Amino acid sequence: MLMKVLRVGLGQLILLGDAVSRPRPQRRAVQGQAIVEKEAARLSLYQFHACPFCVKTRRALHRLNVPMELHDAKNDPIARDRLLAGGGKIKVPCLHIQEEGQSSWLYESSAIIAYLEQRFAGIA
């Protein structure tokens, strides 16, 4: 019981810290942002709302100005089942990438952020 209260409280503090210190989104030309949005439509992030690693990943999405579909793998049983069936484990954050008829699942916040920066940071 005490651990759950601590975990929930810490989660709320993490969310508050994120809201207060959220980075500014990258500015792009209209054409560049349209390219980002088109490419991001093939990506989705499976996450838990208050997970610190998921917050870190969402902050990178916000900073890079990459709109993406988010799936709550904690509270949505359908999203949880898709994550397990597709990625092989219930671990978040997990980026689902759909390209050229292929589907891949990328785990680990640092690897996801590196992928997003390599793919989207240079688009002006």
Query: CA 45 to CA 51: how far, in whole Å?
Result: 13
Superfamily of domain 2-120: Glutaredoxin (3.40.30.10)
pLDDT, one tens digit per residue, over 35-77 is: 999 999 999 999 999 899 999 999 999 999 999 999 999 999 9
Q: With contact defined as beta carbons under 8 Å apart, do 113 and 68 qualify?
A: no
Q: What span, in angstroms and rounded, lies between the C-alpha atoms of 39 and 97? A: 10
Asked if residue 2 has pLDDT above 90, the reply is no
